[in-house]
Amino acid sequence: MRVAMMNLSRLLAVLVVASLATALDAETRVPQSQAEIGLGFAPLVKEAAPAVVNIYARRVVETRQSPFMDDPFFGDFFRQFGNSRPRVQNSLGSGVILSEDGIVVSNFHVVGMATDIRVVLSDRREYSAHVVLGDEESDLAILQLEAARNLPHLGLRDSDQVEVGELVLAIGNPFGVGQTVSSGIISGLARSGVLTGQARGYFLQTDAPINPGNSGGALIDVNGDLIGINTAILSRSGGSNGIGFAIPANLVAQFVQQARAGNDEFVRPWAGMTGQPVAADMAMSLGLAVPEGIVISDLHRESPFAVAGIQVGDVITHVDGLAVNSPSEMLFRMSVAGVGSTAQITRMCGDKRDIVDVAMIAAPDSPPADERKLGRDTALPGLTVARANPATIARLGLPLSTSGVVVVAPGPFGARAGLRVGDSITRINRAPVETTADVALALAGSERWVLIDLSRRGQPLQLRFRL
């Protein structure tokens, strides 16, 4: 028995040594076949990289020498002192060709407001381009290359099918050194609350190194399909720390669709509601076994959700079968569904869970906003006002209860008087105002003093100034 055990021990030792030798040999030996060589990323990069471009954008801005030039009072005194000087602002980024006729997607912060855009392909061909559709909130822009045809391009993958742990490649032009490829995995899904551009978006997270200049570049899977547009990193130093974010390809698809339809601004569905994520301490009181979804706190009377029968206090858990746990996720799912479609909304009402069909509509411009800019013959020249309606509320990000006439732009004199964007004007010189024509008429008088009653984010205020 003892001899048998010793023989077994020797056999196991031999097998372990053999296994280690094989592993070490596998780690150090040169690949012996084309199949083993194909395990690298080189074939994938050769196929995908030609569709990723470098973008050089610039815009000319006017700078004034005197700090008083824009002041409504002192500006008249300093108007002849110092001419404005043009200054060129340059930006560098990346983009992805999505069609053979030159449709390119990039970040808004790379090309937005640019007066001159130059796109350079990996084979050093250059094209002029212009922005067809841009949206600062989503930080996406669609470009059209001029006189382009038969260009290499990438296909879009359904980004809702992407899973954590998938291998990915990031292709772009970091720091302007030239086209660069970095590899990593998908680190997380449904990342929201990350600041990019002027808004907090909804992203895929990756540890593939992303640096300045990668913005607008491609995040591709192992099949060479585009799953996201690299857009932001979390970093204290400005360099990559392995926490990068990409805008999902499904949203890019909606941008391309609207650009081809002739839109010059991205139109996203209007929810007409506000809500908050369901926290752990709220779940039990809402009849939920686990914290999920968003609980509705306010609904506009014209909201398509209200029309479908959804009420304040209901909890929305899914859109088209996909979980939503924050307002950013909700907005993303609605944007992907697109205006004109119908989304299936899963909601909890008490202990009852059901699915409701909700129409995806643009914010109604009803009653007409009747936007009006006051002339120089009024007390506040340059003041722009509009009637509050769903479209105005959505555009200015106002509370759903906003009514009456709102300030779209205060102008230089209105700003000095204390007016701000979004203020709801209720009275001028104690006379009620209900339309933009009422505001224009009230400020066209010859009163020495002007008294304006308004509401600012629900708080009543009164402004008084002398002409």
Question: Measuring CA to CA, how many Å separate 371 from each of 61, 300, 387, 408?
Answer: 27, 21, 7, 8
The reply to whether 109 belongs to the active site is yes
**Residue 153 is a catalytic residue:** no
Token pair of 260 as six digits: 């081809």
- Relative orientation angle of helices 327-337 and 249-260, to the nearest 10 degrees: 40
Q: Which of 91, 106, 135, 139 is catalytic?
A: 139
Return the residue matching tokens 């939503």.
324
Question: Token digits for 431?
Answer: 């006379």
Find out whether 358 and 310 touch, Cβ atoms under 8 Å: yes
Q: Active site residue: 91, 109, 207, 455, which one? A: 109
Let me know: does 217 contact 252? Beta carbons within 8 Å. no
How many residues make up the chain in this entry?
Answer: 467
| Chain position carrying tokens 């899914």 | 318
Reading the block at residue 53, the tokens are 């471009």
Instruction: Indicate which residue of 159, 215, 303, 424 is catalytic.
Output: 215
Residue 225: closest CA among 64, 101, 48 = 48
Q: Among residues 121, 233, 250, 237, which one has the least CA distance to residue 184?
A: 233
How many other C-beta atoms lie within 10 A of the C-beta of residue 387? 22
Residue at token pair 């930006």: 91
Residue 325 in tokens: 């746990």
Is residue 139 annotated as part of the catalytic site, yes or no? yes
Question: How far, in Å, are 51, 93, 107, 134, 214 from residue 96 at the CA level?
Answer: 6, 11, 10, 15, 11
- 415 residue type, one letter: A
Q: What are the catalytic residues?
A: 109, 139, 215
